Every structure is written in structure tokens, then in C-alpha cells.
Amino acid sequence: MFRQFHSNRQKRGQVKRRTTWWVLIGLIILAVGAISLRIYINSKRQWDDPYPPEDDDLLLEWPDIPDDENAYSYLEELKNKVVLMTMPEYERIHRMLSDEEEWDHEYLEKLVARNREAFKIADRMIECDVFQPPKPDPMSFTFPPLNPIREVAHQWYQQSSSLLEQGKDKEAFDTAIKILRFGQLLEGTKGYITNYLTGYAIKAMGYGSLRDCAAKSKLKPEEMRVYIDMLADLGADEEGIIDAMRFEYAHACGMIDCIVAGKYSLRDFSSKYGLYPRHLKPGRLFQLNKTKRMLAETFRKLISNCQKSLVDVDMPENLEEGKLNVFKVPIRDRIPFGDNKVGRIIYDWHTLTLYGVFHVKCRENSEAGITRLLLALKCYKLDRGDLPDSLDQLVPDYIDKIPIDDFDGKHLRYSKEKKIIYSVGRDMKDDGGRRKLDEDKSSPPEDEVWLHDDQVYRIEF
């Protein structure tokens, strides 16, 4: 009897467990079905999304420019003429620039000679002062081929360094100015913000070349003052940044229209959006006009800050340290559920990385000011035999006014004792341009590094 009782008890326990499992499975199926039904209904339902944004102030004008006045019209010709350097050539040039190998000017002249036609085309482009691609189709995303411009700028940088080593100082200065003007063309492009960033990368080579000239040149002070005045107009092209912001806004709205038209879907950008319908229609999940109004408000805010120092920039909190990686999609964004979820994803794609442009703009303006000051200090020292005690002594004989640090809105800093000029950098704290030991304990004690957040340049004359 005991065995039969125990056997019946085991059977009842098994039945109970099986019943529990079936109940759980049923609940899961019901939950999944309810969620799927809710997503389906939301995707089909028309939600209140009443009016598009008023964005006349964000529209980008495309004036008609004759081809002979538009540098873009020469880009294809430049692309066909420029001869790219090979990796061994780059490596050898790098060793010369870093003084690891003696300068071989004949070798450099051969590299220059094969690109003389390309340099002539680039000179014509600089004379145009405008680089305007054709007005793009808002539902297609194309980038102008900028590699030929980068290649010419890089070879000009090498040429300027070689000329300086040969004692051809004026030619070295003039070549550095050409690099800056070439980069300035790209900064003013009516196109993606990457065009501005590429322009700054080119101009950074020009600023570096001019600083080398300041350290090594034997030009007379009156000859160098010409370049100090030129540099006053070669800082960041803030109007170009504003145009780029307007272009990015048009691009974002174009992407929204593409998704509505079924030309693209979130799945085309990452497989992690696989739960989203391929063809999205306006509804709770994707509110067309609400998304465009969000974008218009943010881009209007970005544009209003383009001509301010970083300390005065007023950004929405979600942009201030925004970081985005479209290849690392957060779990919350993979699930197609929530009010205007698709609109929020598109909004993040187009806005979260743009705050960093203000850091680049401030760095460029500060770098341009520091380069002008280095040239002015060189002129002062050639005339008077020593560096000034303060930057005020440079005004007005060597420079019209002391340049502003675009990070904190104050004058750039200078230390005669440390022989440095510096900007406070993005942390906007004046650390006196000091250096500190590398925190990496594996580094030798004598190895020192400039603070990363301070923009510090040595006076090497």
C-alpha cells in the first residue's frame, strides 16, 4: 500500500509540473501574440502628426556659378592627373620629415615633377575661391571624391618642408599658404560636415608648415608680416559650417522621405534592426512630421552656436557628449515598440555626433591664432634680440590684436620662461601650459607628454 501511495504521489507531481509548463508556454505565446498585434496595429494606425516644420531658415541656397569660377568643375580633371604616392614613398618621406633620414631633394623633385600638371590644376582651383558641388537629389547620398585634394595638399606639405631645408624660405611660406587656401575651399563646401573636417585636416598641414617656417626661416620681419596678415582670414570658415549644418538637415529629411517611400529601411543600415518592418508607414512607430520638427529645432540650435566660443555654446543636453556607433545598436532600439521609435533612431544618427564639430572649430581658430603669434614673435625677436615679456608688446607693430582662444573666449596664453604659446583646450581650464609625466608606469621617467586637453606649441627659436 505504501508503494502504491508513493507511486500515485509521483504521478500527481508529474501532472502538476506538466500543467505548470503548459500554462507558462501558453502565457508566453499569448504575450508574444499580444505584442505582435500591438506592433501591427501601431504600424497601421494613423497617429496625430499634424504639421511639417517651418524650416525656411534651414534651406540651403544653391546659386548658379560659372564653371570657370567653381573649383569643383576642375575636380575630375585633377583626379585624372594626380599621381598617388606609393606606401614605400610615403614611408621614406616620413623618415625625412622626422629627421630619421637625410633629406634627398633630388628624390623629392622627381615626385614633384610627375605631378606638375596636377599642381597647375590645383592652383586654378584655389583661384576660384568657391567649391560648390551640383545640387544633390535629396533622396540620394553621394560624396565628392576628395582623395585627389588630400594627395595634392600632402605633396605640397612635403614640398614646403623641402624648400625650407634648401633655404628657399619665401617659396616654403607661399606653398604653406596654398595648402591653407586649398583646405579653406573644402571648409566652405555646401555639403556634408565631413567636407569641413577634411578641409581642416588639410589646413592643419598648412599651419604646421608655417610653424616650421617660423622656427627655421631667415626671412626679414617685414617679409613675414605679410603672412601674419594673410592668416587673419584663414581661420575656421564658420559660414561654411553653417552651410554644412543646413546640408546635414536636408540629408536627414531626405533619409526620412526615402524610408517612407520604401527606398531604404533600418535593416539596410544594420541587421540588428531585423524586427522592424521593411516598409514603414507613418504611424505611432514612425511619426514623419514630428521627427522633422525635432531635427529642425536641433539644427537651428546648432547653427545659432556656430560663431560662438565653446564657453558660450548652448547645446541640448543630449548632444553635449553624444556618442553614436551605428554598429552597436542598444537593445532598447532593436525592439520596434514605443512612441516614434524610428524617428528617434534617425534623429540620433544625424545629431549625436555633431557637437564634436564645435571642438574642431575652436581648435582650428586657436591653432590659426597661435601660428600668427609665433610668426609675430619671430619678427619681434629678429628686430629686438629677445622675446617679449607679454603678448601686448606685439601690438600694433607686429600684429593688429592678440588672437582669441576660441575655447574660453579669452586671449591665447604665452609664457616667455617656458617658451610656449597655448590654448586652454576643450576642458577650458588654464593649467599654465604645464607638462606632466605620462601616467603609464611602463614609460621611462624622463618621457614627458603634453596634457592632451591643452593645445600647447613650443617656441623653437
Q: In a 3-state reduction of DSSP, which class is residue 119?
A: helix
Q: Is residue 453 classed exposed, middle or buried when 0-12, 13-18 and 19+ CB atoms within 10 A define those classes?
A: middle
- Of these ranges, 250-254, 264-268, 385-389, the one predicted with the greatest mean pLDDT is 385-389
Q: Is the pLDDT of residue 199 over 90?
A: yes
Does 233 reside within a domain? no
In a domain, 256, yes or no: yes
What mean pLDDT comes out for the span 25-53? 69
Is residue 236 situated within a structural domain?
no
- Residue 247: phi and psi, rounded to 5, are -65, -45
The answer to which of 21-35, 344-358, 414-428 has the lowest mean pLDDT is 21-35
User: Is 18 a member of any domain?
Assistant: yes
Q: Which residues does residue 449 pair with via DSSP β-bridges, in sequence order? A: 436
Give the pLDDT score at 448. Answer: 40
Q: Show which of 339, 354, 369 is a domain's final residue.
A: 354
Residue 439 lies in a domain: no
Supply the pLDDT for residue 449: 38
How far is it, in rounded angstroms, from Cα 447 to Cα 459? 20
pTM comes to 0.82
Q: What residue numbers bound the domain in which 318 lies?
A: 242-354
Q: For the chain, what is the domain count?
A: 2
Residue-wise pLDDT tens digits, 86-101:
999 989 998 998 888 8
What is the model's pLDDT at position 205?
A: 96
Q: Place 440 in a pLDDT band, splitting at 50, 70 and 90.
A: very low
| Least confidently predicted of 234-243, 410-419, 428-437 | 428-437
Higher confidence at residue 421 or residue 141?
A: 421
Nearest to 213 by CA among 260, 259, 174, 155: 174
In a domain, 317, yes or no: yes
Contact present, 323 and 302 (Cβ < 8 Å): no
pLDDT tens-digit map of 378-399: 999 999 999 999 999 999 999 9
The verdict on residue 178 lying in a domain is no
- Is residue 134 predicted with pLDDT exceeding 60? yes
Domain end (from 324, 354, 384): 354
Least confident of 113-122, 169-178, 181-190, 339-348: 339-348
What percentage of the chain exceeds 70 in pLDDT?
A: 79
- Percentage with pLDDT > 90 across the chain: 51
- In the predicted structure, residue 332 carries a pLDDT above the cut 70: no
Domain assignment present for residue 420? The answer is: no
Domain boundary among 354, 388, 407: 354
